[in-house]
Amino acid sequence: MIDKNTNLLVVSAHAADFVWRGGGTIAKYVKHGANVSLLILSYGARGESNALWNMEGQTLENVKSTRHGEIEAAAECLGVKDIEFWDYQDYHMEINNERVERLVHKIRKVKPHHILTHGPKDAFNPDHETVSKYVFDASVLSTSNGVKLEGTTTVKQAQIFGFEPHQSEISDFKPEVILDITETYERKEAAMNCFKAQPHLIDYYGWKAKMRGNHARRCSGEKEYKYAEAFTRFFPYVGGEFI
């Protein structure tokens, strides 16, 4: 059950990843009262802003500023208020010990039950794979008593879920969790429309949400599921009963 006691941390490698791949789910968590923290590691200025670079006289600072505005607008569509921008360079994104500790600190502060981020394999996007490992490492370290960071205490292991990559089959993606987003699909659509730098993706992810909706209906028998998002999970489901 999603409620005010649920903490969800979303870690997005680039500006819009969280919207294409998890926007409906994020909006659903917000709608049901969860505490949603959004962390944007980079603006995707070098690797995921091609349309903006076609403009004459374009600068890195201007691309970042445009993307910053788009992210804020999209987050507002989804209802997310807690956003941090870390402004790492993308393509390639480099992770060192200092950056791992920074994320451990963040995880210990947010105390997420669930972390939504990139899955381990993405055939065409090395940054997504880097971030997947980065989040996994920091999440595991956040539970360890020996990893001492001032002002923090250890947290329980968060359940980590991976976004569906852009090229699903080529990245060996297989849905392990499918979430119905019918009630928040309009919010996702509004958020997708905030990203003028990647107009070609809006139709693509609309189609994908419908396709996953079809899978959601087939796997569950619930006819009212129209739109869905698919994820992988990093750890097995653990509980007292089958769900």
Which phi and psi angles does 141 have, rounded to 5°?
A: -65, -30
| Segment interacting with Zn ion, rule: CB under 5 A, options 17-25, 49-57, 173-181, 191-199 | 17-25
Instruction: Please choose, from the candidates 152, 195, 146, the residue with its C-alpha nearest in 3D space to the C-alpha of residue 18.
Output: 195
Give the ranges where 79-184 is alpha helix by DSSP (H).
Answer: 97-110, 126-141
Site for Zn ion in 166-185 (CB under 5 A): none
Please select the residue that binds Zn ion; options are 8, 10, 11, 13, rule is CB under 5 A. Answer: 13
Q: How far is the CB of 131 from Zn ion (least distance, A)?
A: 8
Which phi and psi angles does 131 have, rounded to 5°?
A: -70, -35
Q: How far is the CB of 13 from Zn ion (least distance, A)?
A: 5
Number of H helices, E strands in the chain: 7, 7
Site for Zn ion in 84-113 (CB under 5 A): none
Q: Applying CB under 5 A, does 14 fall inside the site for Zn ion?
A: yes
| Segment interacting with Zn ion, rule: CB under 5 A, options 7-15, 58-66, 216-224, 232-240 | 7-15
Q: How far is the CB of 100 from Zn ion (least distance, A)?
A: 20
The residue number with the shortest CB distance to Zn ion is: 14
| Segment interacting with Zn ion, rule: CB under 5 A, options 14-22, 76-84, 155-163, 196-204 | 14-22
Please select the residue that binds Zn ion; options are 7, 8, 17, 108, rule is CB under 5 A. Answer: 17
Contact 33, 79 (CB under 8 A): no
Q: Applying CB under 5 A, does 67 fall inside the site for Zn ion?
A: no
Give the ranges where 43-171 is alpha helix by DSSP (H).
Answer: 50-53, 60-78, 97-110, 126-141
Instruction: Report the DSSP pairing between strands 35-40 and 7-12.
Output: parallel
Instruction: Please choose, from the candidates 178, 93, 181, 87, the residue with its C-alpha nearest in 3D space to the C-alpha of residue 132.
Output: 93
Number of residues that bind Zn ion (CB under 5 A): 3
Nearer to Zn ion, 28 or 128 (CB): 128
Q: How far is the CB of 26 from Zn ion (least distance, A)?
A: 16
Instruction: Please choose, from the candidates 122, 208, 108, the residue with its C-alpha nearest in 3D space to the C-alpha of residue 171.
Output: 122
Q: How far is the CB of 224 from Zn ion (least distance, A)?
A: 31
Q: Applying CB under 5 A, does 74 fall inside the site for Zn ion?
A: no
Q: Both ends of the chain: CA-CA distance in Å? A: 12
Residues that bind Zn ion (CB under 5 A): 13-14, 17
